[in-house]
């Protein structure tokens, strides 16, 4: 362990890049010559306004976000967006959702409170081990949007590009656990949102990237003002006091991604880490990785020995030697290593050699 830091495979909140944490520590008592930390400045100050402009510009550069999209910073995590998306976008009262596991199921349940939800495809018949092919999906002409969870954090699945829906309705994606992990053609989407506590920063913000024509005056007096995209957009995401701290941290991580070769380079690093892990799991007689190869997540590698007590013991033994966070989500059990942007190849190698040793001594 370097600098007393563990190998962090937590699913979120998750590892942040060490050089960024060092910058944050440096800035903590005196940010930008203000004599204050960023948590202490006014969100209406010129310094904070400059930070917001910089984060917006840097994120646009990193993802290649076209001008016609607005970037909103909202609180309430990705969970608030399960409600905000249908409430803002269901103008005709109808949306199509693809059910690929836990997080899309939660989004479907929430959306049903706001309108008619058609589950247009589902991975449930395959035990959520495979992303359904939706390339030929057809939806009713008045469908307000088609919704996918682009990376299922618990099941460990991600959407292969060629299986994504291509309909005339705007595509909405929950990118929480793969945001900024690879290049993204934003123009393919009507709206993208992501909780930032995986690849980007501390919990407390969801970033919403929304095409301007989808920002509308929703004629529902019951809708909380905070949740209205038109209000958030008109007020530069500070209709109320924003999470300045999280916005600042995200800004530092975005800069570090720009410095280290952008999203292409991040994707190469992420592919390499996931390959190391999946190759080991596929060649192992002790562990299996149940997700179909083409649907496997590069961010959340799910695996198991098939024996729940042994899985639990391995997660505990790993934590004892500084390899933390490999216990599977409580709803599914098993093991899961989240290999987000800030997790190094060295940490992945450490995990594999830990699992290997285990394999020979325990079996």
Residues that bind ligand PMP (CB under 6 A): 12, 77-79, 103, 149, 153, 174, 176-177, 195
Rounded CA-CA distance 128/323 in Å is 27
Rounded CA-CA distance 74/258 in Å is 23
DSSP 296-355: B-SSEEEEB-S-HHHHHHHHHHHHHTTEE--BPPTTT-SEEEE--TTS-HHHHHHHHHHH
Rounded CA-CA distance 214/356 in Å is 50
DSSP secondary structure letter of residue 197? T
Smallest distance from ligand PMP to CB 296, Å: 16
Rounded CA-CA distance 101/138 in Å is 21
Question: Whose Cβ is closer to ligand PMP: residue 177's or residue 270's?
Answer: 177
Residue 87: strand, helix, or coil: helix
* Active-site residue flag, 198: yes
Dmax of the chain from CA atoms?
A: 64
DSSP secondary structure letter of residue 176? T
Name the active-site residue from 56, 144, 174, 311.
174
Nearest Cα residue to 161 out of 287, 6, 7, 294 = 294
Question: Whose Cβ is closer to ligand PMP: residue 177's or residue 304's?
Answer: 177
DSSP 246-298: HHHHHHHHHHHHHHTTHHHHHHHHHHHHHHHHHHHHHH-SS-B--S-GGGB-S
Question: Whose Cβ is closer to ligand PMP: residue 8's or residue 305's?
Answer: 8
Smallest distance from ligand PMP to CB 287, Å: 23
* Active-site residue flag, 103: yes
Question: Whose Cβ is closer to ligand PMP: residue 36's or residue 226's?
Answer: 226
Q: Which residue is nearest to ligand PMP (CB)?
A: 77
Smallest distance from ligand PMP to CB 102, Å: 8
Residue 151: strand, helix, or coil: strand
Alpha-carbon dihedral sign for residues 317, 318, 321, 322: negative
* Active-site residue flag, 174: yes
Smallest distance from ligand PMP to CB 24, Å: 20
Question: Whose Cβ is closer to ligand PMP: residue 78's or residue 323's?
Answer: 78
Which residues are paired to 99 by β-bridges?
Answer: 122
Name the active-site residue from 31, 56, 87, 198.
198
Smallest distance from ligand PMP to CB 97, Å: 13
Smallest distance from ligand PMP to CB 263, Å: 19
Name the active-site residue from 56, 70, 87, 103.
103
Question: Whose Cβ is closer to ligand PMP: residue 342's or residue 355's?
Answer: 342
Catalytic residues, by residue number, are 103, 174, 198
């Amino acid at each position: 362990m370097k600098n007393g830091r563990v190998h962090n495979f937590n699913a979120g909140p998750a590892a942040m890049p060490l050089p960024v944490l060092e910058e944050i520590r440096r800035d903590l008592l005196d940010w930008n010559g203000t004599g204050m930390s960023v948590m202490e400045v006014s969100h209406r100050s010129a310094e904070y306004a400059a930070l917001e402009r910089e984060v917006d510009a840097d994120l646009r550069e990193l993802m290649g976000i076209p001008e016609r999209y607005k970037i909103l910073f909202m609180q309430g995590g990705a969970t608030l967006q399960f409600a905000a998306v249908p409430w803002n976008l269901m103008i005709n009262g109808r949306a199509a959702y693809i059910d690929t596991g836990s997080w899309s199921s939660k989004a479907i349940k929430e959306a049903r409170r706001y309108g008619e939800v058609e589950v247009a495809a589902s991975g449930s018949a395959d035990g959520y081990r495979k992303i359904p092919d939706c390339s030929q999906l057809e939806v009713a002409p008045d469908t307000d949007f088609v919704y996918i969870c682009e990376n299922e954090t618990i099941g460990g699945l991600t959407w292969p590009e060629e299986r994504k829906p291509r309909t005339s309705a705007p595509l909405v994606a929950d990118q929480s656990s793969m945001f900024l992990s690879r290049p993204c053609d934003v123009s393919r989407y009507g709206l993208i949102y992501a909780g930032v506590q995986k690849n980007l920063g501390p919990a407390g913000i969801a970033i919403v990237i929304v095409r301007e024509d989808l920002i509308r005056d929703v004629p529902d007096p019951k809708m909380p003002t905070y949740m209205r995209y038109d209000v958030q957009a008109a007020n530069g995401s500070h209709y109320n006091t924003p999470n300045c701290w999280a916005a600042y941290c995200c800004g530092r991580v975005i800069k570090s991604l720009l410095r280290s070769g952008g999203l292409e380079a991040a994707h190469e690093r992420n592919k390499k880490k996931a390959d190391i892990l999946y190759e080991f799991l596929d060649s192992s007689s002790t562990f299996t990785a149940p997700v179909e190869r083409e649907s496997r997540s590069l961010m959340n590698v799910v695996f198991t020995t098939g024996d729940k007590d042994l899985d639990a013991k391995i997660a505990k033994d790993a934590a004892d030697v500084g390899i933390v966070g490999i216990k599977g989500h409580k709803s599914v059990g098993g093991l899961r290593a989240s290999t987000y942007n800030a997790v190094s190849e060295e940490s992945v190698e450490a995990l594999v050699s830990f699992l290997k040793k285990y394999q020979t001594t325990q079996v």
